[in-house]
Structure 1
Amino acid sequence: MAGFAVAGCLAYAVDLGLFLWLRGPVGLGPLTAKSLSFLAGCTVAYAGNAVGTYRGATAGTSRLRQAAVFLAVNLAGALVQLACLGISHYVLGLTSRRADVVSGAGIGMALATCLRFWGTRRLVFRISGGTRRKTRRA
């Protein structure tokens, strides 16, 4: 779980930083900015998990299939984030930058992270044969 958290924190930093820049100085709308920042964060998350966290847990799995399923899991998470952001911004009328950050990068990210952790562990980086890699505790 620690490796997933490290990869996720790096991806979150990229996602949040890019979102704030695209939303602020660049002047993009909230959903466009979030979509672009998501793609950058997703790329960082995949690299961190494939090279670090789950590097030995994918025997017999092609990288292309793995990347496709990872993208699908992360798109589901992105939809959760975009739904939180869209509801806050367009339905509730909370249109400030702070409200966009809280709903998209706070509440939406928390909910999406739960979905991504489950999906990444169960669907993307699994050991063939359905067995789990055993880890030693220090």
Structure 2
Amino acid sequence: MTVKIRTAQKADLPQLLSIYAPYVTRSTATFDELVPTLTDFTQQFQQIRRSYPYLVAENDQDQLLGYCYAHAYNSRFAYQWSVETTIYIVDSAQGQHVGQALYTALEQKLKTQNIVNIFACITAENAKYR
């Protein structure tokens, strides 16, 4: 499978929210208790895009397979070169190196922003979904 990585667009958001929703409802990965509204999801997207990359992966048929982004790790000045990353992949694309492609592209973009620390906050949940 060929995976193309590109910058996320506002028009992608309904599909991205549909990728995100099962992670909220069936796992603890998001730390959210409720699926956000499209309005809230859009506001978060716009806030992140002002400062950091927000990328999507798609297949040859232009179907979205997943997305990732970076956001500020901490608001204190000393953390200005640090970010936290987020990634979500559709079930059908699990194990097909989509996450690797997304993170590689994200890291390359973050290097151009002189980001030197990249963190991920990951749950210790054993089951894929609860």
Fold in common (TM above 0.5): no
Instruction: Name the one with the larger helix percent.
Output: 1
TM-score, length-normalised on structure 2?
A: 0.32
Bigger Rg, which one: 1
TM-score, length-normalised on structure 1?
A: 0.31
